[in-house]
Structure formats: structure tokens, C-alpha cells
């Protein structure tokens, strides 16, 4: 009887523990949902709500006055107009399939970076908490535009979040990835030429080196927008992205983004691409651009190179979560890579460390060198600079090296002539395809997107020979061999693979490091030492990787000496 009573009491205690545990967890979950719930923005209904797009030809669609078309160079051209919500609705309906491709590419990369399903779930809730105030950080009109886009987004990824929350969070993805793992912008470079001249030939050029995966960069979109309020503007983007990374408005003001080294943020703020969009839409000169930048708090360090026809010059707004600096050049050109140059950040530890370790200073020097080498500053010169694949003094540092202007990862490259309201956009692949010229005066006057074929810049010669095709083979071979190393497999024909790997890109240090890692994985220290020593004769992208290679080499040599004794 006593035993039965004890069992009964134990069951009651267990039941109470289970009940209170469930109650606490449920309460926590409800609190979590309350604080992470992102409210839908209020919008006025529009005729576009019920309209469907019309197919007007191969790769061309129309809805009301807006349309999407693909030109012969492979660029998607998008025209949008109306209220924020209407612009979003039209973009979503016109680019529905392109959005699916972009999201699939994005989610695939997330799964590659975070293969653990449990960690992915943890990360999902962590980001939801981190971004819990994101709807307060993004101006209402851009929330409405994103909401309009989200109405055409697939439900396939609702396990991540609903379409609106996903689209909202994707606009902060660059900022989060950049802050946590330096993933998003590996090494963008931008420059301004012919500053403070009287000939209306000011030029702004930029490489947008943003790489998620091959699929993500396949569909470049050149968007022309006539909003209800503010300036008409164009920007180069991808489907569903309303934030700006490269753009120019009809006042001749240009905005381009470059990442800088940042602390890990504690909470969300205004995504940098949204700030850039606001500047493009509402600023007509440098003073107005600075005023808009000052009123927004961002949560990563970033640089905005602002070119202005009204001011006949370009400056760099340097922004971190805690302060804003302005960098002006004393010459007729300005260069911005991935480190701060203003006096505001002269003693900033993050910036100084990044300058010492990264490829940023080297690439800035190379850009300045190419500018000084140029006989004249024109669009063709600017394109040549953006496509340059060499190191200082034209040294071969390997194709794809971060120290080069052309790192073979660009989503797009752009050249602006702000005073003439002309823009040249690179067609695929990377910045190697034709640069297609658009005249904003004509396009916004007629609402008809056309390019000036007489001003098209030819493809890079690198595409015409074996250079590019060999590089693609090299990349595939590198990735395949990297998988072998990661899985610690032994390959029977490794010597043939290594021969081709190095033959196809002989001056790039990473090929030799990968070879060394392979030999370490199969306990062949002699060959590992050989390839590490060869790697150290090449130009490394940053000092951290080089120091790791030196340490690895020293350990192998010590082990070799010990075994010899």
C-alpha cells in the first residue's frame, strides 16, 4: 500500500513538473512570438491587386504601365511606377519566376553554409529575435513596397518565415552576413574621375563584388523607377531587391556601396541598401545625401560613394553604427575600397586592423595606379580599370585574387556619367560582357527603356580566347578537389588533377595551398611542405591566411625533423 502511494505521489510530482515546464515553454514561446512578430504595413488597395501580367513576347511581360523585358545582351530591364505598394505589386508579378530563382539560390547557400538542420532552426529563431524591430527600422513606404513584392512570392519556404517576413529579412541579409562572417561584399571597389572639372565628363565606376553562388548572379536586373514621391532613378539589382547597391537618379546623383570592417551588431537597424535607396530617391546633391545618412542608424560599417552632378564632384560617406565620417579627395579623382579614409576613423581599431590584414589597401593602390597610367579619363578607360586582373605594376597574381580589381565574382559593374545622365551596365558574365549604355533623360521622358547601341563597350578580350573557359574549368576542378580534401579521400590520379589545377592558374596561391592540404590529409608531409613553400612565393590576399600557411609549414618541418632524429 505504501509503495502504491509513493508511486502515486511520484506520478503527481512528475505531472506537475511536466505541466509547469510546458507552461513555462509555452509562455516563453508566446513572448517570443509577441516580440518577434512583424506587423504587415497598412496599404491602400490598388487596381493592380487584381490585375495579371500579360506576356507581350519572348521574355517580356506587361502589367498596367509597367513592364519587364530581356535585351539581347542578357540583361533584364524593368520599368516601375506609382505608389510604393503599386511598385512592389508590379515588380512581384512581373519578376515572379526570377524571384523564385533568387530565393532558391539564397536558401541553397544558407543550407551549404549551415548544413545542420538543428543549428539552422536555432539560427532562424536567433535572427528572428535579432531582427524583431526591423519593421521599425525600415521606412513605411519601403515596407509597403516589400509587402507588394511579397504577394507574388512562393510559399515553398514558409518554414523559414512567411513571404513578407522573408523579403524583409533578406534586405538585412547582407548586413548580418557581412557583420558575422564577412560574407556579403568580399571586396567592392569604386572610384570617381574628372572631379571638379568644367567639361561635364565626371565619371563614377564600380565593381559590385557580391557572390552567393553562380545561380544568384545569372539574372541581373536594370530597374528604372518613377515613384510617386521623390526623384526618378535607376539601379542595378536582382528580382525582389528594392534596396540599392548601385544607382543614379535623374538629378545626376549616384550611390554605390562598399563594405568595411564592422563589429558584430547587437540588434538590427536600417539595412544599408535601404539607406542607399532613400538617398537615391530623395537627395539631389551631396549635402542632402549626408543629411539623410546622418538621420539613419545602420548596424554595420559601410561606405557610400556619392557622385553629384550638382556639385561636380564625388565624396565618400563612411558610416558605422556609432559614427559617420566624410572623406573628400584633394585631387581630380577619388577611390574607395573596403577601409575608411576619413579622420573620423583614423584611430578606429577595426579599421586599422582590417587595413593591415586585408586586400583592401593593396586594391586601392592598384586602382590609383591604373588611374595614373591612363592617358585620358573616359568610359572605356573606366571599364578597363574595372576589368583589370593584375596586381601592382602589372604583376600576375593569379586570376581571381582579391587584390585585383576584377576578382571574378562581381554581380555587376557600372559606369556612370552623372552630368550627362548616362549609365553603362555590364552584361553577363561578371564585368566581362558588353557594357550597355542607357540614357536616363530619354527613358524617363518616354517611359521606354532603350539602350544606345552606338555607345556599347565591347566584351573583354578575356572572353574571346581560352582565358575565361580555362578559368571555369579551373574553378570546377578546384571545387572538386576541395571536396576530396574535406572528405579526406585519397585519389588515384591526384597528380593529373594537381597538374591541371596549377597549370590553369599557376600564379594563384590558393591552388598550392589546396594541394598542400590534400597531402596533409593523406599524411604525405614531404609533398605538403613542397606545396606550402611554393604557395608562399605567390601573392596572398591577406596576412591572416599567409600566417596560417607559415605556421602550418613550420609545424610540418618540426615534425619532419623530429621523425628524422
Q: Answer yes or no: do 377 and 414 share one domain.
A: yes
Residue 122 lies in a domain: no
d(CA 542, CA 529): 20
* Among candidate residues 447, 477, 508, the one where a domain is terminated: 447
Is 424 in the same domain as 345?
yes
Mean pLDDT in residue range 247-276: 87
Q: Calculate the alpha carbon distances from 137 to 86, 134, 141, 274, 510 in Å.
A: 21, 5, 12, 10, 41
Domain count across the chain: 2
> Widest CA span of the chain, in angstroms?
104
152: phi then psi, degrees, rounded to nearest 5: -105, 5
How many angstroms separate the CA atoms of 326 and 360, rounded? 18
Which CATH number fits the domain that encloses residue 353?
Answer: 3.60.60.10
Residue 46 lies in a domain: no
- Whether the CB-CB separation of 331 and 308 falls below 8 Å is answered with no
| 315 pLDDT more than 50 | yes
Residue 4: inside a domain, yes or no?
no
Residue 538 lies in a domain: yes
The residue-averaged pLDDT of 487-508 equals 88
Q: Give the pLDDT of residue 265.
A: 63
Instruction: Identify the domain containing residue 441 by its residue range.
Output: 185-211+246-447
Confidence of residue 534 (pLDDT cuts 50, 70, 90): very high
Q: Considering 447, 475, 502, which residue would you say is the last residue of a domain?
A: 447
- If asked whether residues 278 and 415 sit together in one domain, one would say yes
Are the beta carbons of 474 and 506 closer than 8 angstroms?
Answer: no
Are both 385 and 473 inside the same structural domain? no
Residue 282 and residue 379 in one domain: yes
C-alpha cell at 110: 544558407
Q: Are residues 439 and 491 located together in one domain of the fold? A: no
**Pair (197, 268) in one structural domain:** yes
pLDDT > 90: what percent of the chain?
70
Q: Are residues 342 and 398 in the same domain?
A: yes
Joined grid coordinates for residue 180: 558575422
Residue-level pLDDT at 33:
35
Cell numbers placing 293: 545618412
Q: Which three cell numbers stand for residue 183?
A: 560574407
pLDDT digits (tens, 9 = 90+) for 367-378: 999 999 998 899
| 13-45 tens-digit pLDDT | 655 554 444 434 333 333 333 334 578 999 999
Give a yes or no: residue 367 inside a domain.
Answer: yes
Between strands 66-70 and 76-82, the pairing is: antiparallel
Same domain for 282 and 374, yes or no, is yes
Look at strands 246-249 and 233-237 and give their pairing.
Answer: antiparallel
Is residue 488 domain-shared with residue 519, that is, in the same domain?
yes
Shared-domain flag, residues 391 and 494: no
Report the sign of the C-alpha dihedral through residues 73, 416, 389, 188, in that order.
negative
CA-to-CA distance for 331 and 368, rounded, in angstroms? Answer: 11
Average pLDDT over residues 463-484: 94
Among 418, 447, 476, the domain boundary falls at: 447
For 28, 353, 557, 563, the CA distances from 514, given in Å and listed in that order, are: 47, 26, 18, 24
Residue 159 has what DSSP assignment?
T
Q: Is residue 352 assigned to a domain?
A: yes
What residue has cell string 543614379?
A: 248
C-alpha cell at 251: 538629378
Q: In this predicted model, what pLDDT tens digit does every residue of 160-204 receive, in sequence order?
A: 889 998 998 888 766 765 555 554 445 799 999 999 988 889 999
Q: For residue 239, what are the contacts with CB-CB under 8 A and spacing of at least 6?
A: 76, 91, 95, 98, 99, 101, 102, 219, 221
3-state helix/strand/coil string of 256-319 = EEEECCCCCCCCCCCCHHHHHHHHHHHCCCHHHHHHHHHHCCCCCCEEEEEEECCCCEEEEEEE
Q: Is the pLDDT of residue 112 over 90?
A: no
DSSP-assigned letters across all residues of 550-563: HHHHHHHHHHHHHH
Q: Are residues 421 and 526 in the same domain?
A: no
Q: Is residue 503 part of a domain?
A: yes
- Let me know if residue 64 belongs to a domain: no
Q: What is the 3-state secondary structure (H, E, C) of 504-551?
A: HCCCCHHHHHHHHHHHHHCCCHHHHHHHHHHHCCCCCCCHHHHHHHHH
Burial class (CB in 10 A: 0-12, 13-18, 19+), 12: exposed
Separation of first and last alpha carbons in the chain: 76
**CATH code, domain with 523:** 1.25.40.10
Sign, Cα dihedral of 498, 502, 504, 510: positive
Q: What is the mean pLDDT of residues 47-65?
A: 96
Amino acid at each position: 500500500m505504501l509503495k502504491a502511494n509513493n508511486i502515486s505521489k511520484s506520478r503527481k510530482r512528475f505531472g506537475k513538473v511536466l505541466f509547469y515546464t510546458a507552461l513555462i515553454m509555452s509562455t516563453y514561446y508566446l513572448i517570443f512570438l509577441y516580440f518577434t512578430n512583424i506587423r504587415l504595413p497598412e496599404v491602400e488597395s490598388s487596381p493592380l491587386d487584381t490585375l495579371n501580367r500579360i506576356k507581350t513576347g519572348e521574355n517580356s511581360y506587361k502589367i498596367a504601365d509597367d513592364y519587364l523585358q530581356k535585351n539581347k545582351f542578357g540583361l533584364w530591364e524593368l520599368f516601375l511606377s506609382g505608389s510604393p505598394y503599386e511598385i512592389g505589386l508590379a515588380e512581384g508579378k512581373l519578376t515572379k519566376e526570377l524571384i523564385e530563382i533568387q530565393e532558391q539560390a539564397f536558401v541553397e547557400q544558407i543550407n551549404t553554409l549551415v548544413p545542420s538542420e538543428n543549428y539552422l532552426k536555432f539560427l532562424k529563431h536567433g535572427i528572428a529575435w535579432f531582427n524583431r524591430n526591423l519593421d521599425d527600422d525600415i521606412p513605411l513606404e519601403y515596407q509597403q513596397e516589400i509587402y507588394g513584392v511579397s504577394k507574388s512570392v512562393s510559399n515553398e519556404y514558409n518554414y523559414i518565415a512567411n513571404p513578407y517576413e522573408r523579403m524583409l529579412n533578406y534586405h538585412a541579409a547582407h548586413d548580418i552576413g557581412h557583420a558575422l562572417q564577412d560574407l556579403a561584399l568580399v571586396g567592392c571597389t569604386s572610384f570617381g574621375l574628372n572631379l571638379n572639372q568644367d567639361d561635364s565628363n565626371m565619371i563614377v565606376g564600380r565593381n559590385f563584388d557580391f557572390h552567393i553562388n553562380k545561380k544568384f548572379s545569372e539574372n541581373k536586373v536594370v530597374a528604372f523607377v518613377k515613384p510617386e514621391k521623390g526623384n526618378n532613378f535607376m539601379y542595378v539589382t536582382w528580382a525582389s531587391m528594392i534596396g540599392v547597391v548601385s544607382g543614379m537618379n535623374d538629378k545626376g546623383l549616384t550611390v554605390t556601396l562598399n563594405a568595411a570592417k564592422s563589429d558584430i551588431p547587437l540588434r538590427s537597424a536600417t539595412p544599408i541598401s535601404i539607406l542607399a535607396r532613400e538617398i537615391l530617391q530623395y537627395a539631389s546633391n551631396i549635402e542632402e545625401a549626408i543629411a539623410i545618412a546622418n538621420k539613419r542608424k545602420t548596424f554595420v560599417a559601410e561606405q557610400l560613394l556619392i557622385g553629384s552632378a550638382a556639385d561636380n564632384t564625388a565624396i565618400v560617406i563612411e558610416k558605422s553604427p556609432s559614427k559617420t565620417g566624410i572623406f573628400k579627395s584633394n585631387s581630380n579623382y577619388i577611390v574607395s575600397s573596403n577601409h575608411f579614409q576619413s579622420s573620423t576613423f583614423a584611430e578606429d581599431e577595426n579599421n586599422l586592423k582590417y587595413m593591415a590584414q586585408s586586400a583592401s589597401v593593396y586594391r586601392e593602390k592598384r586602382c590609383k595606379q591604373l588611374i595614373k597610367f591612363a592617358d585620358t579619363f573616359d568610359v572605356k578607360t573606366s571599364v578597363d580599370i574595372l576589368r583589370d586582373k593584375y596586381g601592382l605594376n602589372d604583376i600576375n597574381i593569379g586570376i581571381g585574387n582579391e587584390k585585383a580589381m576584377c576578382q571574378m565574382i562581381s554581380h555587376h559593374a557600372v559606369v556612370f556619367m552623372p552630368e550627362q545622365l548616362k549609365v553603362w551596365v555590364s552584361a553577363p558574365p561578371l564585368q566581362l560582357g558588353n557594357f550597355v549604355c542607357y540614357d536616363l533623360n530619354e527613358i524617363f521622358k518616354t517611359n521606354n527603356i532603350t539602350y544606345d547601341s552606338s555607345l556599347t563597350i565591347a566584351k573583354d578580350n578575356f572572353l574571346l580566347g581560352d582565358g575565361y573557359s580555362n578559368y571555369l574549368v579551373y574553378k570546377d576542378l578546384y571545387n572538386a578537389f576541395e571536396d576530396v580534401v574535406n572528405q579526406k579521400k585519397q585519389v588515384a590520379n591526384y597528380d593529373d588533377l594537381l597538374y591541371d589545377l596549377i597549370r590553369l592558374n599557376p600564379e594563384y596561391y590558393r591552388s598550392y595551398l589546396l594541394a598542400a592540404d590534400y597531402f596533409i590529409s593523406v599524411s604525405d608531409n614531404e609533398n605538403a611542405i613542397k606545396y606550402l613553400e611554393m604557395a608562399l612565393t605567390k601573392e596572398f590576399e591577406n596576412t591572416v591566411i599567409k600566417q596560417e600557411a607559415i605556421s602550418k609549414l613550420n609545424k610540418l618541418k618540426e615534425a619532419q625533423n623530429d621523425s628524422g632524429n
